[in-house]
Amino acid sequence: MSKLKYFFSFYKPHLKLFIFDLSCAFIVSLCNLVYPSIARNIINIYVPNKELNMIIIFCVVLLGVYIIKLFLNYCLQYWGHIVGVRIQGDMRKAMFKKLEKLPYSFYDETQTGTIMSRIINDLMDISELAHHGPEDLFLSMVTFVGAFIIIAFMNIYLSLIVFIFLPIMLFFLVKRRKKQKEAFKLMRVRTGEINAQVESSISGIRVSRAYGASKHEIEKFDKSNISFQKARAEAYRQMGIFNAGINFFSDLLYLISILSGGLFFYFNLIDSGEFTAFILYITTLITPIRNFIAIFEQIQNGSTGFERFVEIMNETEEEEAEDAIELNEINQGIKYENVTFHYGKKDIDEINYVIKDFSLSIPKGQTIALVGPSGGGKTTLCHLLPRFYEIDDGKITIDDIDIRKITRDSLRKHIGIVAQDVFLFSGTVKENIAYGNLDASDEEIIEAAKLANIDSFIETLPNGYDTYVGERGVKLSGGQKQRISIARAFLKNPEILILDEATSALDNVTEMQIQDALDKLCKGRTTIVVAHRLSTVKNADRIVVINNEGIVEEGTHEELIKRDGMYASLYKYQFR
């Protein structure tokens, strides 16, 4: 589907309102053509013949036309904008749904501020284009063509003089369009970059303050700000050339019209009424040309924004296999079979594999701990299981079914994750716990909080479970956020549990308290634990030691200590 066809497809749900808007624009443009004809009749007929009644009648008719225009212009402004707002809302909804379906790799490579710029700033300009673009173009074209046809009927030679001049203006428009479009596109890119810079700096303001790096953040912002200013200045320079050129050609057309019309009147080729009407129609003709300046700016802004919208909509979504099945329950366990994976694009020459030819079997109900130095791919292995990323080679199976043959929703429904970096949404405690099961009752939410040992603390909050936690849970401590995350997992009640450094950022006392909740959470579930604190994995059914070459050793805590290998060295180092 072409971009233009795709753009107009968003008008379909609002077609009746859009047609009403264009109808109003059409009638307004016809009304604009009435005044010069009435002026010509008054000057040529009614004034010389002293027909006062006809002068009054036509003035009343003109007043009626203006009253009709008053109502129609209100409809254009109000209902026209409603069309734009609704189309903008549809596009924003479509983009957000698309964003929810994009793979993790997209968010690894795209800054949040850039996405925000596309979903808010770009779509605002698309809304203006969706409203004003067709409406103003239609109104201007009808007025322009109507005035030109009337001039041709008045005097064909005068219309030819005007017509010869118009291609020069058209050539200028086409020539400047490409440069202006490129400048506006660069401005959009720089807008996204400065939004990303602001989002990053505001999100990390506590870190920058703690490290006395405010000056550094200001310098980084200044670079983005200057880059944005230059791009915007270039866009306005191109727009200035365009606007000044159009205004000059409009003035030149007006001058040519006065000169040619004056000469025709001087040599008695037209009368005074026709000369007056000709000048008025030329003014009517120039008005849509001048309006086109504003329309062209909207087209540049809107089309650039729409191109960036299309870029998002063309991103590859998380795809399901054609024969994908629903995973209803887990009876056996998990197997990693010769799994190979690397981050980034698949078509690059040099590939740095995070995981290569990795195999591991996890029986149902067992707790497997993954330990070892950083960079061995432990967290990556956890991310591959719910298909946050797709493996390059090998396969991962649940009950001997390749997870690529299982729908993502049903797969992820059976997996709960408690990570080191807990993300809490800006909302209440209850809303954040409820993410484990959005259909849960208040009683189920409270029970999950009790199991996570957070209920007693929540009851001390000003509004209990309805207390606002702040952006990313800023009003809560690390341990409190972690327990809410555990309560969320309890509420989900998954068959597979992933604990990714769930206590590594906590103090020893808090870690011990949370470990009790985690032990309850792990009971009866197939659990994968990633930990650097080896004290938290001593009771695992099996400990798997991993480095960047794969599995080094595995066994129980006691077996690995006796073996006196890498695990024993790491353990002795921590508890020396």
**Cα angle 189-192-193, degrees, rounded to a multiple of 5:** 90
Residues 6+ apart with CB under 8 A from 388: 103, 104
Burial bucket for residue 486 (CB in 10 Å: 0-12, 13-18, 19+): buried
Give the HSE-up count for residue 417: Cα atoms under 13 Å, Cβ half-sphere: 18
Q: Is the dihedral of CA 355, 360, 366, 367 positive or negative?
A: negative
What is the predicted pLDDT for the residue at 203? Answer: 61
- Could you say which DSSP state residue 329 is in? -
Chain centroid to Cα 8, Å, comes to 20
CA-based Rg of the chain, rounded to a whole angstrom? 35
Neighbour tally for 470: CB within 10 Å? 12
Specify if 359 maps to a domain.
no
* Domain around 111: 3-313
Other CB atoms within 10 Å distance of the CB of residue 313: 15
Beta-sheet strand order (sheet of 393-398): 355-363, 333-341, 393-398, 401-402
User: Closest by alpha carbon to 335, among 363, 315, 370, 357?
Assistant: 363
Nearest to 315 by CA among 98, 120, 4: 98
Predicted local confidence at residue 258, as pLDDT: 82
Q: Length of the chain in residues, anyone?
A: 576
Q: Which helix (H) or strand (E) holds 248?
A: helix 214-266
| CA torsion, ordered 549, 545, 531, 564, to nearest 10 deg | -130
Residue 222 lies in a domain: yes
Kindly state whether residue 345 falls inside one of the protein's structural domains.
no
Predicted structure pTM score: 0.71
Number of structural domains in the chain:
1
Instruction: Decide: residue 63, CB within 10 A, 0-12 exposed, 13-18 middle, 19+ buried.
Output: exposed
Amino acid residing at 242 = F
Question: Would you list the DSSP string of 519-533?
Answer: HHHHTTSEEEEE-S-
Question: Each residue's pLDDT tens digit in the chain (576 positions)?
Answer: 577 888 888 888 998 988 898 888 888 888 877 877 777 777 777 777 778 888 888 888 888 888 998 998 888 888 888 888 888 889 888 888 888 888 888 887 877 777 887 888 788 878 877 877 787 787 778 888 888 888 888 788 887 887 787 777 777 776 776 677 777 777 777 777 777 777 667 666 655 655 566 777 777 778 878 887 888 788 778 778 777 877 787 778 778 888 888 888 888 888 877 778 778 778 777 777 777 766 776 777 778 788 888 888 888 888 888 888 888 888 888 999 999 988 876 655 467 788 888 899 999 888 898 988 887 888 888 889 988 888 889 999 998 889 999 988 888 888 888 887 777 887 888 888 888 888 888 888 888 888 888 888 888 888 888 888 877 677 777 778 888 888 888 888 888 888 887 666 556 666 676 777 777 778 888 888 888 777 778 888 899 888 878 888 888 888 888 888 888 888 787 766
Q: Which of 529, 507, 532, 533 is nearest to 519 (CA)?
A: 529
Burial class, 366, CB count within 10 angstroms (exposed 0-12 / middle 13-18 / buried 19+): middle
Confirm if 396 and 339 have CB atoms less than 8 A apart: yes
Q: Is residue 148 part of a domain?
A: yes
Give 325's DSSP letter.
B
Q: Give the three-state DSSP class for 426.
A: coil
Rounded to an integer, what distance in angstroms lies between the CA atom of residue 152 and that of residue 501?
Answer: 81
Asked if the structure places residue 453 within a domain, the reply is no
Determine the 3-state secondary structure of 348 from DSSP: coil
Q: What is the rounded CA–CA span in Å between residue 384 and residue 149?
A: 68
Say if 336 falls within a structural domain: no
Residue 520 lies in a domain: no
Q: Taken in order 83, 89, 92, 96, is the CA torsion positive or negative?
A: negative
CATH number of domain containing 119 = 1.20.1560.10
334: helix, strand or coil: strand
What pLDDT was estimated at residue 511?
65
Which phi and psi angles does 36 have, rounded to 5°?
Answer: -60, -35
The SS3 of residue 204 is coil
First-residue to last-residue Cα distance in the chain:
66
Q: Which amino acid, 89?
A: G
Half-sphere exposure of 27 (CA within 13 A, CB side): 17
Are 480 and 460 in contact by the 8 Å Cβ rule? The answer is no
Contacts of residue 305, defined as CB under 8 A and 6 or more positions apart, other chains included, come to 118, 121, 122, 123, 124, 125, 126, 129, 188
Asked whether residue 487 is assigned to any structural domain, the reply reads no
Residues 6+ apart with CB under 8 A from 165: 252, 253, 256
Alpha carbon 367 to its chain's center: 40
Q: Given this model, what pLDDT does residue 294 score?
A: 66
